[in-house]
Amino acid sequence: MRVAIHGRTLELEQGDITQQAVDAIVNAANSRLAGGGGVDGAIHRGGGPSIMAETARRYPRGCPTGSAVITTAGNLPARYVIHAVGPVWGGGQAGEAELLASAYHRAFELSSQHGCRSIALPALSCGAYGYPVDQASRIALRVAKEFLEQDPVGELARFVLFGPGMYGAFAAALEELAF
């Protein structure tokens, strides 16, 4: 599914984010940048040890929830990996929505600052961190839309969703957003 925004493209695709040949892919990291399962596990497996070596060297104190840091992408087809830290879902009263929006926002900002025209993103916080996908997808797409509307560099934002359920939730949220 694809929509045009100010001549730029917002896309949804079902698949594996590590296979994306875009300028930057976004990792669903934790604040220690310690690696783990899900997207994070797949990125470090596919990219090789140079990514973890770089996060340890450049960001020894990790990355706060709601923010992101950038590294090269090792053996992956992308040029950069942007490690974004979404919130753990705790019921919605602990600022989760703001933190999720801010993690996406910072990831987009870093991609633009590094001259990336295309970026692929996962459903941050929607796996191990338990964020309800109907709510998370609206936040993710709103931030992506705002980015594409005003950023001078970004041309393509593609959400790469794992499985038909996650794709369907994002597709419903995208239809709901008025373009």
Which of 155-169 are b and which e, b meaning 16 or more Cβ less than 10 Å from the residue's Cβ? ebbbbbbbeeebbeb
170 touches ligand AR6 (CB under 6 A): no
Looking at 47-55, 125-133, 150-158, 170-178, which segment touches ligand AR6 (CB under 6 A)? 125-133
Q: Least distance in Å: CB of 14 to ligand AR6?
A: 9
Q: Least distance in Å: CB of 178 to ligand AR6?
A: 25
37 touches ligand AR6 (CB under 6 A): yes
18 touches ligand AR6 (CB under 6 A): yes
Spatial strand order of the sheet with 80-84 comes to: 2-5, 8-14, 156-161, 118-121, 24-28, 80-84, 68-72
In the chain, DSSP assigns E strands to 2-5, 8-14, 24-28, 68-72, 80-84, 118-121, 156-161
Q: Is 40 a catalytic residue?
A: yes
Q: Return the number of the residue (153 or 156) whose C-beta is nearest ligand AR6.
A: 156
Q: Which residues bind ligand AR6 (CB under 6 A)?
A: 16-18, 28-30, 35-40, 42, 86, 122-129, 160, 162, 166
